[in-house]
Structure 1
Amino acid sequence: MLVPLLLLLLLLLLPLALLRQPRSQDASLCWLARLQHRVAWGALGWAAAWQQRRLEQSTRHMGQSQQQALRWCLQGAQRPHCPLRGSTDTSTFRNQLPLTKISQAQEEESGEQLTPPTSNQYHGEAFLQATLLGLAALKKAYPEVVSPGSTARVTPTSPWPSPLPWPGHALGQASPPGARDPGALLLEALRCPGLRGLEAGTAAELMDVFSGLEADGEELAEAVATGNPGAPLPRRAAELREALEQGPRGLALRLWPKLQVVVTLDSGGQTEAVAALGALWCQGLAFFSPAYAASGGVVGLNLWPEQPRGLYLLPPGAPFIELLPVNEGAQEEAASTLLLAEAQKDMEYELVLTDHTRLTRCQLGDVVQVVGAYNQCPVVRFVCRLGQALSVRGEDIGEDVFSEALGRAVGQWPGAKLLDHVCVESSILDSSEGSAPHYEVFVELRGLRNLSEENRDKLDHCLQEASPHYKSLRFRGSVGPARVHLVGHGAFRALRAALAASPSSPFPPEMPRVLRHRHLAQFLQRRVVS
């Protein structure tokens, strides 16, 4: 069904695309652009309605849908001598295939990355479904955002998991079609004061865009004024300079007074970036992510743009998803997984995905909490990643616990706004120097240039309040106090660039909160300013 759908959409739009004259400035052709936009959204609405019907059907019959997903995975398995060929029984499947855990320790020891499940086929369909349903939900919640010229993308990567089968300008994108240069994308967006929607690949990438805008604001304003490229817009350039002079807080709404929503793709480690954007540059704006992506694949659909915190539906189709109760995570092979229909509200689970090509049941490390249901399908919020926990003496402080403690500590630092952070266990940097093992914490802040010893100590106090085990170890002296380092402006942007340069880096890139490699920790250590 997917191929006929794409062909139909292309056939609907091809005649209109042919009628467009490239680079034409004739005002008489405006009606053609509006017609093309209307037809494009009509086709998209039809496709989204078809996907919605499929979703309704699958979520009302969860058992049958997951059985079909398992059958699809088993029939396509490429592993030789597969013991499950011809069998689609879930009990046999669980008994014959043990759980595989993505272990950071294994990665460091072997020097190779244990790759998570991947399958271009099911990823392609899941990506298209997330894009179509996300666009339809966005149009329903913010109808003005989808009018011609009302949305611009400011990063080379897109928040929509699947590229649409028609030109971007047909849907009203203000960004130059096919543009890959971040500077050109931002410059085109700055030339359009009437934007109602802003898109970026991830929240962290958007934060880097705004940081760069502040640093290069005068140069960008001059380009707008002189018309490089495009027509000269001196009045708009004056507006940009005036907006930038007032500082970062609320900058987006000063640049684009009609802006309503920011669209980014959610993934691991993006919570801090969303919080920083909401507190500074994008203050007063709504945020929407069409999907949650983990390990390079879509695992959750967002049908509720109006919700302040991301809620995601775990779809029952391929890939085959199981849920592992987190309190059983340490039991590894003895742990018992659940199907989606067996999920219980308020419980927390680790996601387990089955690989289509190698047929492995892979623990992703992403922990979700069930907050509701959509028909028989669980609706979840993502809590943390198990691989981002800190443990120098077995205390096991999770990503969510540490982030909350750090947030409370930063709240006690006068004028400070947290932009980003990572942690390093002292053994990675050999920084114990005969003292007890401890955490090395690197933070990037706004509003505070130096950290006093009193401020640094507040983090350790907040960690003790958050974790009784950590407090006990601190009292006995088995663990030393956390050491906090302030890094210079742009340090984390450079770190993300280094991570993205890795050939094995997925999209969207998952921002680590615990660095396990010494060269990455030293990368930040060289940028410490206080």
Structure 2
Amino acid sequence: MLLWPLLLLLLLLLLPLALLWQQRSQHARWAWLASLQHHVAWGALGWAAAWQRRKLEQSTLHVGQSQQQALRWCLQGAQGPRSPRRGSTDMSTFRNHFPLTKASQAQEEDSGGQVPPATSPQYPGEASLQATLLGLVALNKAYPEVLAPGSTACVTLTSPWPSPLPWLGHALGRVSPTGAKDPVALLLEALRSPGLRTLEAGTAVELLDVFLALEADGEELAGAIAAGNPGAPLPGRAAELRQALEQGPRGLALRLWPKLQVVVTLDAGGQAEAVAALGALWCQGLAFFSPAYAASGGVVALNLWPEQPGGLYLLPPGAPFTELLPVKEGAQEEATSTLLLAEAEEGKEYELVLTDRVSLSRCRLGDVVRVVGTYNQCPVVRFTCRLGQALSVRGEDIGEDVFSEALGRAVGQWPGAKLLDHSCVESSILGKLPPPPPAPAPHSQVGYPPSHTYPLDHCLQEVSACYKSLRFRGSVGPARVHLVGKGAFRALRAALATYPLSPFPPEMPRVLRHRQLAQFLQRRVVS
């Protein structure tokens, strides 16, 4: 009986809308449709995000039960003699059947220089959906209007959102062309849109490559915009691009897009240097936000706080099953007993151990986190370094974070120097290749601009007592620094992406373990 009154009310509402529609111009109709589509999309997104937020609240409040469910899900596919008893999720039984294994980097070192298997740029699991939905809502709340129609452009073929929903980008009015397979087309479309408020890229290193390409090919891009390739000719916008490029890299993004507020990239290992370089030069004055931290092709942590600098992440209790391996500072022996999420202590550092349903192995990722707080019963962390990226010529074991600190100090002593990227190789990896004369004791070689040796060696001695002692005894020579040509690291990342075990997103290696990769970079040394 209620159907007829509802239909009558709908007709009464549609009549004035139809009259209004007839009076609108074609352009106004499309604008009205886009606005309606945007509101409907945000309504659906808000509902889905609220549902995911409730699920996250429940899982983090009852973290023990949530982890038991995650472990049970992972073990459902377990078969064979190593499988625990059916339905058993006892931690002792699980740990006995599945001992800890090293991450893929350790396997690569023993592969004799053979290259790894490519993983898909997909992030299965509920964590990726939560990261996308909750990240979009949190970003819009922290920076109002940054996701308004026509305010967002992605300038790389990959998206920073772990679960990119095709309908969502179109419904939210993004300027990026749908289904584009050419990165130049993405960049041109973004350059044609001066009103952007959000700039997206798959990762920070990919965005760094975009800005370097923009500087190198700026005149060609300006010519395409002026000629209307693609779209209508925009000679005024082309002139703005040329003028912005003439003023140098510092602050270029804000000169091109004066309303720009935030840069969105997906965080992963080896991205810190790229974020620092972008923030110091091209994206100076802009906020950076990553909706998640990805490792080995999967989402391992969520970012619910876009306004917090430096990246705060929540370790969720769902699949994949996550354990924490304590990192013992200054101890030679390694911890062998893992902890569950609720057992993490604030201020302590842990290596992440993941078990997924496919591999059924308790894999030590090498990613180290420091617990800085709690969200309900789950740890809130910052990612500090990767254990597999340590230099150890004579057992000095200089970690990624320690080396980066020393390198940052050294670069600060070189007037006009800007660190864009770097990678190291132990001299023994180069094998029979003749080292640059004179040939010192076993040492580390670093490739990055500019080329200086003494400041880096001195800074390494300041941050590492073990390295200082070995240098004093003459057991190791000074770290040798080399300048590599423009585009060397971009070519290195492109080469890494073609290797069979290459993770996604591509993690920039700070220490090259393969002779093949070391030779690849050495061929691009210019001094």
Q: TM-score under structure 2 normalisation?
A: 0.90
1:485 aligns with 2:486: no
Q: Retained in 2: the 8 A contact 1:325–1:349?
A: yes
Find out whether 1:510 has 2:519 as its counterpart.
no
Contact 1:291-1:298 at 8 Å conserved across structures: yes
1:504, distance to aligned residue in structure 2 (A): 2.9
CA contact (8 A) 1:116 1:295 kept: no
Give percent identity, aligned residues only.
80
Cα RMSD for the two superposed structures: 2.1
What is aligned with 2:280? Answer: 279
- Spell out, residue by residue over 1:444-473, the C-alpha distance to the aligned partner (whole angstroms, 9 max, x if none): 35xxxxx4xxx4200000000000000000
Deviation at residue 41 of structure 1 after TM alignment: 0.8
Pairs within 5 Å for 1:322-361? 322-327=323-328, 331=333, 335-361=336-362
Answer with 186-195 or 500-509: which moved more. Answer: 500-509
Which of residues 521, 524, 527 is equivalent to 1:527?
524
Aligned letter for 1:143? P
Q: What is the Cα deviation at residue 375 of structure 1?
A: 0.8
**What is the aligned partner in structure 2 of residue 4 from structure 1?**
none
CA distance in 1, matches of 2:443, 2:375: 44
- Tell me which residue corresponds to 1:313: 314
Contact 1:154 1:198 in 2 (8 A): yes
Structure 1 segment 289-308 matched on structure 2, within 5 A: 289-308=290-309
Alignment-derived partner of residue 446 in structure 2? 441
**Greater Rg over alpha carbons, structure:** 2
Cα distance between partner residues in 1 of 2:116 and 2:229: 46
Unaligned runs of 5+ in 2: 1-24
The partner residue of 1:461 within 440, 447, 458 is 458
The whole-number CA distance in structure 2 between the counterparts of 1:391 and 1:55 is 41
Provide Cα deviations, 1:374-426, integer angstroms capped at 9, x if missing partner: 11110000011111000010110000000110000000000111000000001
1:19-34 maps to which residues of 2 (within 5 A)? Answer: 26-34=27-35
Secondary structure of the residue aligned to 1:350 is strand
Given the alignment of the two structures, is residue 174 of structure 1 paired with residue 171 of structure 2, yes or no? no
2:90 matched residue in structure 1: 89
Aligned-pair CA distance for 1:81: 5.1
Question: SS at the partner of 2:421?
Answer: strand
For residue 356 of structure 1, give the secondary structure of its aligned residue in structure 2: coil
The correspondence of residues 116-515 of structure 1 with structure 2, limited to 5 A, is 123-164=124-165, 166-327=167-328, 331=333, 335-430=336-431, 435-444=440-449, 451=451, 455-515=452-512
AA in 1 matched with 2:500? P
- Report the CA distance between 1:522 and its aligned residue: 1.5
* Residues 1:186 and 1:117: Cα distance change in structure 2 (over 3 Å): closer
CA distance in structure 1 between the aligned counterparts of 2:276 and 2:182, rounded to whole angstroms: 26
Report SS of the residue matched to 1:474.
Answer: helix
Higher relative contact order (CA 8 A, sep 6+): 2
Deviation at 1:102, TM superposition (A): 2.1
Mapped to 2, the partners of 1:218 and 1:72 lie a distance apart of: 54
Q: Which residue of 2 aligns with 1:106?
A: 107
Q: Secondary structure at the match of 1:110?
A: coil
Q: Deviation at 1:78?
A: 4.2
> Post-superposition shift, 1:497?
0.8
**Alpha carbons of structure 1 residues 505 and 145: separation in structure 2 relative to 1, 3 Å:** same
Cα deviations by residue, 1:253-292 (Å, 9 ceiling, x for unpaired): 0000000000000000000000000000000000000000
TM score, norm. by length of structure 1: 0.90
- The answer to which of 159-168 and 236-245 deviates more is 159-168
Contact 2:417 2:449 survives alignment (8 Å): no
Task: Indicate if the aligned counterparts of 1:118 and 1:297 stay in contact, CA closer than 8 A.
Answer: no
Do the aligned partners of 1:444 and 1:492 also contact (CA within 8 Å) in 2? no
| Residue equivalent to 1:21 | none
Equivalence for 2:12: none
Contact 1:77 1:357 in 2 (8 A): no
SS of corresponding position for 1:420: coil
